[in-house]
Amino acid sequence: MATDTHRAIEAVWRIEAPRLIAGLTRLVRDVGVAEELAQDALVAALEQWPAEGVPRNPAAWLMTTAKRRAIDQIRRNETFRRKVEEVGRDLAESTPDVGAMVAEDDGIGDDLLRLVFVACHPVLSTEARAALTLRLLGGLTTDEIARAFLVPEPTVAQRIVRAKKTLAKARVPFEVPQGDELAARLSSVLEVVYLIFNEGYSATAGDDWMRPALCEDALRLGRILARLAPREPEVHGLVALMEIQASRAAARTGPGGEPILLADQNRARWDQLLIRRGLAALARAEAILDQGGRHGPYVLQAAIAACHARARRFEDTDWERIVSLYEQLARTMPSPVVELNRAVALSMAFGPETGLALLDQLMAFPAIRKYHLLPSTRGNLLAQLGRHAEARAEFERAASLTRNERERTLLLDRAAACDQEGQPAGSTSMATGRAVSRHPLRSPE
């Protein structure tokens, strides 16, 4: 029974932790303190629920317990006496065994949105934003975050601690920004969510080609954000992009975990539910834009992903449409990585010579010269042109640049195939079908 109760507590915590921390942050105006209070409530649940049973409204129980801890803490500091009265009045209006605290609006949706903007505040580094977002909104433990990004647990712990101290020191307001600041901050929020998805979809380093759990966490965060900001087309665009990309997960690896590129994937294994959800999210974004507005980078990338999703076979892909979308994306978000992806689309639509000409121009950009997808893509196009010795050199160079073992093996296999003066049947560039991250050197397949 205790084991069942512990499982119930874990499930409740995963679902309710973000809402709980958000509501507490509104009261105490400190993310670090709010998280500590939420953890105290969790400890109390672990102590009491096995003996007393799971309450009828566990979310309300946790919030009430945490608010009582907040009162105790505030009372210890005389400078917060006014806050004691406010929290006390709030607590007096609700009881732990009824649904009033959750049923009433109580601004909880707004609180979650505020927490998103706090966790993704530009005052924090990108790595700190990602770690704090996964901790506060994704419900991951420090150990889980460390394993997801292949960094030591103490490193993640330090990032989270420093992030909370930085937010407190900067006195970051617990509010949704307005006007021009909203657009700038929303971009930061979307970047963090997509960074998490990217790392799950095409792992930067390690032995695994993918980390599906991170993709799921990013999707959950994106869906929450879409509910909280329903009139923001870029939010729906990001959700659409992630849904469609995630739909290919089962087809992207073989029985031994080896990568399977887009042209070779069994499309019967693509998740049609995720594709439908992604296309619906894209339609919502475009409907908002039809009322006035300019297509942003996530909506454009989602439209590119939709072209792949709608093609029953690789040969049916509308590459000319994809080229047009990449041209729009290049104007909206100029980047060597966007140009790399455009080169792939050009080669598929108009022949390898066209794509190779653009790739050769990209060699002038120092930042992308050490990006493994540039030589791997050049290798693929050179092989198609029969320039096998050059192709082999490019694949070997790409293998030396990647930190992902699965990717390195694939690239070395393709280099070896050049000795037979050909590439494996149906093989395409590793950049084919990849979305384009806002990070200048990330481009997940």
Stated pTM of the model: 0.73
Residue in 259, 263, 262 with CA at minimum distance from that of residue 410: 259
Mean predicted confidence (pLDDT) in 23-44: 88
For the chain, the structural domain boundaries read 2-107, 244-420
Tokens of 65: 């317990």
C-beta of residue 236 within 8 angstroms of C-beta of residue 219: no
Amino acid making up residue 79: T
Identify the sign of the CA torsion 367, 370, 375, 377. Answer: negative
The string of pLDDT tens digits covering residues 139-152 is 778 887 887 676 88
C-beta of residue 163 within 8 angstroms of C-beta of residue 132: yes
In which band, very low, low, confident or very high, does the pLDDT at 112 lie, cut at 50, 70 and 90?
Answer: confident
Fold of 2-107: Rna Polymerase Sigma Factor; Chain: A (1.10.1740)
The string of pLDDT tens digits covering residues 184-214 is 788 888 988 888 898 888 877 777 778 787 8
C-beta of residue 124 within 8 angstroms of C-beta of residue 166: yes
pLDDT of 391: 95
Q: Is the pLDDT of residue 81 over 70?
A: no
Task: Calculate the average pLDDT of the chain.
Answer: 84
Q: Is the pLDDT of residue 233 over 90?
A: yes
The greatest distance separating any two alpha carbons of the chain, rounded to the nearest whole angstrom, comes to 79
Q: Is the pLDDT of residue 358 over 80?
A: yes
pLDDT of 148: 67
Mean predicted confidence (pLDDT) in 344-370: 91
CATH class assigned to 244-420: mainly alpha
Of 14-28, 122-136, 297-311, 419-433, which gets the smallest average pLDDT?
Answer: 419-433
C-beta of residue 123 within 8 angstroms of C-beta of residue 163: no
